[in-house]
Each structure stands twice: as structure tokens, then as C-alpha cells.
Amino acid sequence: MSSDILKNLNPGITDLYPYEPGRSVDEVIDEFDLDEVVKLASNENPLGASPKALSVLKELKNDLHLYPDGNGTKLKKEIASHENVAIDNIIIGNGSNEILELAARAFLNSNTSSIASKHAFAVYKIVTQSAGASLIEIPTSNWSHDLGLFINHIEQSTKVIFIANPNNPTGTYNSHHEVHTLLKKVPSSVLVVLDCAYFEYVTKADYVRPIDLLSEFDNLLITKSFSKIHGLASIRVGYGIANPSLIEVLNRIRQPFNVNAIAQAMASIAINDKEHIEQSIKLNSQQYEFLFNKLSKLGLECIPSVGNFITFRGDFVGKELFYGLMEKGVIVRPLDLYDMKDFIRVTIGIKDENLKFLSAIEELL
Ligand SMILES: Cc1ncc(COP(=O)(O)O)c(C=O)c1O
């Protein structure tokens, strides 16, 4: 095939790489000829999906020939009541990644830039450069977003600021005070995307209260995910919360039926499954302590995390340890994509999964 076609590629796409997802269990079982594999690679909920939401699959109606509700009315109603906002404050997406992409498409083009921390969630760069814009990366402080520094880097061209709070892959968070201070200083014409995919896991008293900021800042877009605490990563649902005129703009460029009917029905139930949410938080807090202490005792340097994962480094090369662990039936995540080649990120699993991971890593260190 002639490569002429690639000459017309939009400039920002030239130095992008496809997002590297966590390896799947089936793939690793096949490749390494293993009987059993534990996946601690994509910050999924080790307790699985909300059991109540799973009932949707057992009671599926024979109406899959009909398009889903393009407005997502029922799901938006449940989200509105959960978040204590109005329905027109909400947009639903095919994962919260879709909301990030809509924000980029709505506000970024080749003459503009976005801002995010270095070592922040990889999708910010992808959606920025796909829209033709450039990403300004701000150095971190102790692996945390240095929001005070963000202000100094805002340029005339800057139209969007992405803040993952907590951040993936570092697990760090920013306080309500820090986010509020930033918002007060950012020009009101610059969109601030506060990505709260791991919101429910955070137990810190000073953590951001995103909804409290909504009435004060029209340039704020909060995103949340059903992929993490609700255990529904595979069905792809997320949502955005913002003032109604911003939501209306994002709705103009959204695909008509972006969230399928099964996903809408399951998410509507999952968001109210308090028992599952509480169990998941409890397990995560307990196993975080356990895993963090064990890894530290092995001499590994762990970044304190408020999410459902721990990122650590030691006397190893990330990719090599990643392959070594995979051979022993444990999938984790190397962080080359985040310019953190000497780190590994591990999702906090149930106790047996964590023990399998710990015994594999002990053998390899
Ligand atoms: C910080 C952050 N934001 C957003 C997402 C996207 O989540 P989803 O598109 O599954 O809702 C992830 C997924 O890992 C994430 O880590």
C-alpha cells in the first residue's frame, strides 16, 4: 500500500500511539500456556459488577431490535438524584472517556492547547492531539498535580484543562481547596475538566466536593465512570456533569445512541446499589493497607494512593517485571506510556489475588 495517504494525516496524530489497554486474561492464558491468570491491570472492581445490576441480563426483554433511549432519560434521572443535580446538568457517555473526547472536540482545534499534569491519564493527550491541539504538560510535585503551577502555564491558546482527581496512574489526589483555588484563577472561558473516575474510593476528608463547585463555575465539567466502583467496565458507561448550556453543546456533537440499552439499564441499577458500593470501598481500604505494607516491606517505593491501585518502583525495569509476573499468571501494568519506565501499577484485588501477586513478585525480586 502506498504511504501517500499518511501524508494527509492530521498533524497531532503523527506522534500518537494507540492506547495500550491491560492484557486480557484469555490472551495471557493462551500466550503463556497457563491454567489460571489473575488480572490486576486495569483498575477494575475485583468484586465484579453490582449483583443487582446483573439482574438486567437475566430479565432481558425481547426488544433489542429497538434503538435505545437516545436521551438516556431513566439513567439520567437516577444520576441526577444520586448527584443531587438536575437532569439537564447531565450527559451520558460510552465510558467517561467519551465525555473527555466530546470536551476536546467541542473546544480544541489546531490553534489551541490543553493543559494536564505530566504522568496524568493518557487519554488527555490522545483526545487533545486528535482534535489537532497540543498538550502542555505540567511537572508534578511528589507525583501529584501541582495545581498552583497550572496557572503559570495557561497560554492565550489554552482552552481546556484536564485534572484527574484521583490521578491514574499515580493514585494521588487534590483537595477541595486546591481545586477551588485553581478554578478561581482560571479564566472563565477555559474549560476545566475534573475527571473523578475513582471518586467513590477516596476516603480523605479534604478531597474535592465537585458538585459544590458547580454553581460557582460555569466552566467546570465533572466526569465520573461506571467502570470502577460499579464494576461495569465492560459495558462502557460514564457521565459528565456541568451547567446546562455546556451540556447542550456536548450533546450537539454526541452520537445519537452512544450508550446502549443494556448499559443504560444496568447503570441505572448499579448507581443505587449501596451495598455493593460500600463492600467495594471496604475491601479496597483493607487490601490497600495490606498490599501497601507488604510491598513496602519488600523494599519497594510505593506512591501513596487514594484509588484502587498502587504504583511502585524498586530495583527493576517495569517492562521486565511485567513480563516476569505475566509468566507467573499475574497481569499488572507497566507504565512506559506515562514516562515511568521504572514503575509498575497494580490494581488492588481480593485477598487471594493480592497474595498470588505478592508471592510472584517475591520470587522475581
Ligand atoms: C483517570 C481516568 N479517567 C477516565 C477513565 C476512563 O474510564 P471509562 O471510560 O471506562 O469510564 C479511566 C480509566 O481507567 C481513568 O483511569
Q: Which of 91, 227, 335 to mutate to test the pocket of ligand 1 (most atoms within 8 A of CB)?
A: 227
Instruction: Please give the distance, rounded to the nearest whole angstrom, from the Cα atom of residue 123 to the centre of ligand 1.
Output: 8
| Residue 136 near residue 153, CB atoms below 8 Å | yes
Q: Which of 96, 172, 306 to mutate to test the pocket of ligand 1 (most atoms within 8 A of CB)?
A: 96
Please tell me the total count of domains within the chain. 2
The predicted model gives 297-312 an average pLDDT of 98
The predicted model gives 345-357 an average pLDDT of 98
Rounded to the nearest 5°, which phi and psi values hold at 154? -70, 125
Residue 288: inside a domain, yes or no? yes
| Residue 50 in contact with ligand 1 by CB distance below 6 A | no
**Which residue in this structure is represented by grid cell 473527555?**
100
Last residue within a domain, chosen from 270, 285, 312: 270
| Residue 106 near residue 250, CB atoms below 8 Å | yes
Q: Which of 123, 194, 348 to mutate to test the pocket of ligand 1 (most atoms within 8 A of CB)?
A: 123
Compute the distance between CA of residue 159 and CA of residue 155 in angstroms, rounded to an integer.
9
Compute the distance between CA of residue 324 and CA of residue 195 in angstroms, rounded to an integer.
33
Compute the distance between CA of residue 298 and CA of residue 361 in angstroms, rounded to an integer.
9
Last residue within a domain, chosen from 270, 289, 305: 270
Q: Work out which ligand 1 atom sits closest to the CA atom of 237.
A: 11
**b/e map 250-275, b = 16+ CB within 10 Å:** beeebeeebbbbbbbbbbbbbbebee
Whole domain around residue 310: which residue ranges? Answer: 4-48+275-364
Exposed / middle / buried, residue 72 (Cβ in 10 Å: 0-12, 13-18, 19+): buried
Instruction: Please give the distance, rounded to the nearest whole angstrom, from the Cα atom of residue 275 to the centre of ligand 1.
Output: 23
Do 102 and 165 sit in the same domain of this protein?
yes
CA-based angle 153:156:158, to the nearest 5?
65
Do 98 and 199 sit in the same domain of this protein?
yes
For the segment 234-282, what is each residue's pLDDT rounded down to a tens digit? 999 999 999 999 999 999 999 999 999 999 999 999 999 999 999 999 9
Exposed / middle / buried, residue 362 (Cβ in 10 Å: 0-12, 13-18, 19+): exposed
Residue 211: inside a domain, yes or no? yes
Do 226 and 281 sit in the same domain of this protein?
no
Residue 322: inside a domain, yes or no? yes
For the segment 87-113, what is each residue's pLDDT rounded down to a tens digit? 999 999 999 999 999 999 999 999 999
For the segment 116-169, what is each residue's pLDDT rounded down to a tens digit? 999 999 999 999 999 999 999 999 999 999 999 999 999 999 999 999 999 999
Average pLDDT, the chain: 96
Residue 56: inside a domain, yes or no? no
Last residue within a domain, chosen from 270, 295, 319: 270
For the segment 292-303, what is each residue's pLDDT rounded down to a tens digit? 999 999 999 999
The predicted model gives 55-68 an average pLDDT of 93
Do 86 and 200 sit in the same domain of this protein?
yes
**Nearest CA residue ID for atom 16, ligand 1:** 168
| Residue 99 in contact with ligand 1 by CB distance below 6 A | no
Residue 1, pLDDT > 60, answer no
The predicted model gives 179-198 an average pLDDT of 98
Q: What is the DSSP string of 188-256?
A: TTSEEEEE-TTGGG---TTB--HHHHHTT-TTEEEEEESSSTT--GGG--EEEE--HHHHHHHHHHS-T
Instruction: Please give the distance, rounded to the nearest whole angstrom, from the Cα atom of residue 31 to the centre of ligand 1.
Output: 27
Considering the entire predicted model, what is its pTM? 0.96
**b/e map 282-294, b = 16+ CB within 10 Å:** ebbeebbeebbeb
Do 169 and 299 sit in the same domain of this protein?
no
Do 116 and 132 sit in the same domain of this protein?
yes
Do 10 and 110 sit in the same domain of this protein?
no
| Residue 237 in contact with ligand 1 by CB distance below 6 A | no
Compute the distance between CA of residue 71 and CA of residue 130 in angstroms, rounded to an integer.
26
- What counts of helices (H) and strands (E) characterise the chain? 14, 15
What is the pLDDT, as a whole number, of residue 101?
A: 98
Sign of the CA dihedral 51, 283, 193, 343?
Answer: negative
**Nearest CA residue ID for atom 7, ligand 1:** 96
Instruction: Please give the distance, rounded to the nearest whole angstrom, from the Cα atom of residue 267 to the centre of ligand 1.
Output: 16
The predicted model gives 45-70 an average pLDDT of 95
| Residue 195 in contact with ligand 1 by CB distance below 6 A | yes
**Which residue in this structure is represented by grid cell 481545586?**
179
What is the band of 327 on the pLDDT scale with cuts at 50, 70, 90?
very high
Instruction: Please give the distance, rounded to the nearest whole angstrom, from the Cα atom of residue 22 to the centre of ligand 1.
Output: 13
Instruction: Please give the distance, rounded to the nearest whole angstrom, from the Cα atom of residue 41 to the centre of ligand 1.
Output: 13
Do 151 and 264 sit in the same domain of this protein?
yes
Q: Which three cell numbers stand for residue 313?
A: 518502583
The predicted model gives 206-210 an average pLDDT of 98
| Residue 197 in contact with ligand 1 by CB distance below 6 A | yes
Instruction: List, in order, residues 6 or more apart from 275 with CB less than 8 Å away.
Output: none
% of residues, the chain, pLDDT over 70:
99
Q: Measuring CA to CA, which residue among 49, 50, 22 is closest to residue 38? A: 22
Do 179 and 250 sit in the same domain of this protein?
yes
What is the band of 2 on the pLDDT scale with cuts at 50, 70, 90?
low
Q: Work out which ligand 1 atom sits closest to the CA atom of 238.
A: 11
> What is the domain-level CATH number for residue 349?
3.90.1150.10
For the segment 17-48, what is each residue's pLDDT rounded down to a tens digit? 888 889 999 999 999 999 999 999 999 999 99
Residue 32: inside a domain, yes or no? yes
| Residue 43 in contact with ligand 1 by CB distance below 6 A | yes
| Residue 94 in contact with ligand 1 by CB distance below 6 A | no
Instruction: Please give the distance, rounded to the nearest whole angstrom, from the Cα atom of residue 228 to the centre of ligand 1.
Output: 8
Compute the distance between CA of residue 363 and CA of residue 339 in angstroms, rounded to an integer.
26
**b/e map 73-98, b = 16+ CB within 10 Å:** eebbebbbeebebeeebbbbbbbbbb
Do 95 and 200 sit in the same domain of this protein?
yes
Residue 54: inside a domain, yes or no? no
| Residue 44 in contact with ligand 1 by CB distance below 6 A | no
User: How much of the chain is in helix, strand and coil states, percent to nearest 5?
Assistant: 45, 20, 40
What is the pLDDT, as a whole number, of residue 8?
A: 87
| Residue 307 near residue 166, CB atoms below 8 Å | yes
| Residue 89 near residue 80, CB atoms below 8 Å | yes
